[in-house]
Amino acid sequence: MERKYNPQEIEPRWQDFWEQKGTFRTSEDHSKPKFYALIEFPYPSGEGLHVGHPRPYTALDIVARKRRMQGYNVLFPMGWDAFGLPTENYAIKNKIHPRIVTERNIARFKEQLRSLGFSFDWSREVNTTDPEYFKWTQWIFLKLFEKGLAYKQEMPINWCPSCKIGLANEEVVNGGCERCGSEVEMRVKNQWMLKITAYAQRLIDDLELVDYIDRVKVQQRNWIGRSEGAEVDFPVVGTPHKLRVFTTRPDTIFGATYMVISPEHPLLDEFKEQISNYAELMAYRDQAKKKSDFERAELTKDKTGVEIKGLRALNPATGNEIPIWISDYVLMTYGTGAIMAVPGHDERDWEFARKFGLPIVEVVVGGNVQEEAYTDTQSGIMVNSGFLNGLEVSEAIKKITAWLEEQGLGRRKVNFKLRDWVFSRQRYWGEPIPLVHCDKCGWVPVPEEELPVVLPDVENYEPTDTGESPLAKIRDWVETTCPKCGGPAERETDTMPQWAGSSWYFLRYTDPQNDEDLAAKDRLDYWLPVDWYNGGMEHTTLHLLYSRFWHKFLYDIGVVSYPEPYKKRTSHGMILGENNEKMSKSRGNVVNPDEIVAEYGADTLRLYEMFIGDFEKSVPWSTDGVRGCRRFLDRFWRLQEMAVPGKEFNPSLETSFHKTIKKVSEDYENLKFNTAIAAMMALLNEIFAVGRITHAELKTLLILLNPVAPHITEEMWVRMGFPGYVHAQEWPKWDPDKVIEETVDIAVQINGKVRGEITVSLTDPVERARELAMANGNIQRYIEGKNIVKEIYVPGKIYNIVVK
């Protein structure tokens, strides 16, 4: 038998053991309390696993392993989010079918994950590219379509010229493509859209039902961007038309001295005949069209715009005629694409008014609106505002809104920044959208029993320059018959975005082989919602919002029984390179987990990733830190040599053990893995100082460390000849009475400065503390010749004597 700790020998052996015995298979015994732990399933890239991956995986593996020992029926599954661009690009470049590339990448990832000893139930593995899986992704889409939540629309989209793909707003970062960084252009395309905006309010409201870390909730609210205000109709003079605006400040309507509409606004086309400078306006529109939203926002320094000659609006409050301008600072995609400009109290309007010499009127007192816009108007008194004069802002808002409603000129309105989800991708490697276009019947869903609509095998996956999907060229796939009328029809050639498959994958884990339903209802009811979902902050406005939307929809149609998919959401920090920069191939600072496993072992890697620092923060990798963790395990291994029989805790270590059990138990649940490990390290130091460890103590310690370092603890348990296996033990409990030290060393302060130390029992009265303190020479020195003014004695904490 080997003496030395040899993870390279131990770890694969235990991994085989767990697999063969099905140790971590989840049962469907619904009488047991359940715990569903979820981590974001990875995109199996060609790069293989990165040291960032195991951080969240280990964290929830720890919680899952602990909960099993606490008697829960635990579901901790894993799968693959395998559709996506990099695979397709690789396939194009190397002329290998993306399916093959995907298979290969998955095999690699799986092997790497296996080598880290995660307690996934691999029998429940899902793969978004598996037709048996995406059949249900397509099914959900058809349900959305059926309910009118999927629609096709001609609309300007963010177009990445390098990926040749349309991007959702969420995929545009600082004006560039999230994936490749190329600058995004605007293009008008006919796209499938999902009406996530119909759920905007519920997506905000139901955040109340869930336990998400605060920054996640805040970011979601931020992204949805709810704002309350009113819609107001401004009559267009000499026409029956009314120009509708959205404003959050209807109270300032008396200060609206002109209007601005977006260059794309349809008003221009409608009144083409009456507009005398139509050509000029069109030139401006063309110019604006060329700019992306980002560019438009970038050019913030200087306002541009053109007045519409021949059209004027009527301010319904003042009765004055006011000019209408077009400017690209008004976006067609928010509100109504038109604003009432109140230059006195809005910086943008003020700037614009200044530049074009438009009148500026003060309506809330407090500033000097000729000098600058006065925007500190959350409160204030109205002036120059007719019947609102003298009112407080909040009163004025109520009064004007009521007046507008009475006059039929406006109404209260809530607006959201959230836009509908661009759901089409002009790509090959994605789920085909299961619709057929028939000249007679329009868009017709593929009948459910014909799902899945699978991808045809093709020679060439290159996207076309026209922006059409490569599928469009496969005529014998495209050409089909209409399911409704039987006439000739064409398949939709757009595919779904990567976010589709990941919007519901956690449901499939409950019943991954089901071919009748997306998952059996009783399983969904038992397992959902997910008890704890950990994932990256980068998915807060994408995946997390999308999947909440889909889940709410599935709730509405009765598939699931709770409106929220995830009860709790936490997020891990990134692991940076040793140089404190983001790990990337180009920076050459990537650490490969395989090498760490080969050199130090999986347990060391797991331990290190949990000990490295605050779980929620980014932290640089440190090879020296890894060695320190290996050293700990080497020392831990040597406990075997100092083990002595005994069913009790050594009295001198008893309190330490109970404290450690408490600390570790609590810290594992609170993302404080680093301090849990520190506590075990400290206890190990104490044990080494004592020089021996009883069997009872060693068993306890093995169980506590097992979730972090499962291989070494399994091995030591068996080597010690303890009955059964460590993973099958019950999680230890601490005795609240034994967590408290009987005697403690506390500081004695004179006027708040530490001047000595005494050893007291918690139950000792102040007299006892005083007696001990007075015996201390240094204390005597400070008290001599002084009057004791006050004594503060906090048992177990401090003894402070105030002298004068």
Site for RNA in 183-222 (CB under 7 A): 214-215, 218-219, 222
Q: Does 383 bind RNA (CB under 7 A)?
A: no
If one asks whether residue 400 binds RNA (CB under 7 A), the answer comes out as no
Q: How far is CA 26 from the centre of its chain?
A: 27
What six digits make up the tokens of 31? 């009488």
Smallest gap from residue 332 Cβ to RNA (A):
7
According to CB under 7 A, which one of 293, 392, 556, 654 is a site residue for RNA?
A: 293
Task: Report in angstroms how near the CB of residue 329 gets to RNA at its nearest.
Answer: 4
Own/partner long-range contacts of 767-770 (Cβ < 8 Å, ≥24 apart): 769/793, 769/799, 770/799
Interface residue with RNA among 386, 620, 665, 695 (CB under 7 A) is 620
* Footprint of RNA on 437-476 (CB under 7 A): none
Closer CB to RNA, residue 567 or residue 627?
627
Residue 749 interacting with RNA (CB under 7 A): yes
| 256-279 per-residue burial string, b: 16 or more CB within 10 A, e: under 16 | bbbbbbbbbbebbeebeeebeebe
Task: Say how far apart CA 304 and CA 603 lie, in whole Å.
Answer: 62
Q: Which of 11, 346, 431, 714 binds RNA (CB under 7 A)?
A: 346
> Which residue type sits at 497?
P
CA distance 77 to 119: 8
Give least dist CB 400 to RNA, A: 13
Nearest CB to RNA, comparing residues 487 and 752: 752
Q: Backbone phi, then psi, for 48, in 5-degree steps?
A: 80, 180
Rounded to a whole number of angstroms, the minimum distance from the CB of residue 27 to RNA is 36
- When asked if residue 420 is in the footprint of RNA (CB under 7 A), the reply is no
578 makes contact with RNA (CB under 7 A): no
Contact status, residue 144 vs residue 152, Cβ threshold 8 Å: no
- Closer residue to RNA (CB): 96 or 789: 789
Strand 798-803 and strand 788-794: pairing?
antiparallel
**Of residues 332 and 696, the one with the C-beta less far from RNA:** 332
Cα 582 to Cα 571: distance, rounded to the nearest angstrom: 17
Helix or strand holding residue 232 (H, E):
strand 226-235
Going from the C-alpha of 672 to that of each of 452, 613, 663, the distances in angstroms are: 44, 9, 10
**Residue 729 makes contact with RNA by CB under 7 A:** no
Whether 50 contacts 88, CB under 8 Å:
no
Q: Does 68 bind RNA (CB under 7 A)?
A: no
CB nearer to RNA: give 25 or 582: 582
Which one, 165 or 545, has the nearer CB to RNA? 545
Binding marks (x or -) toward RNA, 240..259, rule CB under 7 A? Answer: ------xxxx----------
For residue 570, the minimal CB distance to RNA (Å) is 13
Q: Which of 104, 437, 635, 738 binds RNA (CB under 7 A)?
A: 635
User: For residues 153 and 190, is the Cβ–Cβ distance under 8 A?
Assistant: yes
Q: Which of 23, 227, 514, 665 binds RNA (CB under 7 A)?
A: 227
Least separation in angstroms between CB 685 and RNA: 6
Which of residues 324 and 559 has its CB atom nearest to RNA in the complex? 324
Q: Of the candidates 803, 794, 684, 669, which has an alpha carbon nearest to the alpha carbon of residue 744?
A: 794
Kindly tell me which of 224 and 519 has the beta carbon lying closer to RNA.
224
How far apart (Å, rounded) are the C-alpha atoms in residues 394 and 376? 13
DSSP 441-472: TEEEEPPGGG---PPPP-S--PPPTTS--GGG
From 110, 202, 348, 484, residue interacting with RNA (rule: CB under 7 A): 348
356 contributes a contact to RNA by CB under 7 A: no
Question: With respect to RNA, which residue has the nearer C-beta, 26 or 415?
Answer: 415
Query: Shortest distance, CB of residue 222 to RNA, whole angstroms?
Result: 5
Terminus-to-terminus CA distance in the chain, angstroms? Answer: 70
Cβ-based nearer residue to RNA, 114 or 244 = 244
**Considering the rule CB under 7 A, would residue 629 count as an interface residue with RNA?**
yes
Outline where DSSP puts E strands in 562-645: 568-570, 575-576, 619-620, 643-644
- Should residue 603 be labelled a site residue for RNA when binding is judged by CB under 7 A? no
Neighbours of 541 (CB within 10 A): 18
Residue 415 engages RNA in binding (rule: CB under 7 A): yes
Site for RNA in 643-672 (CB under 7 A): 672
Q: Which of 7, 52, 316, 337 binds RNA (CB under 7 A)?
A: 337
- Window of 10-18, 77-85, 296-304, 365-373 that interacts with RNA by CB under 7 A: 296-304
Joined together, the tokens standing for residue 122 give: 């691999």
Q: Are 382 and 396 in contact (CB under 8 A)?
A: yes
Site for RNA in 502-561 (CB under 7 A): 537, 541
> Please, which residue, 17 or 688, has the CB nearer to RNA?
688
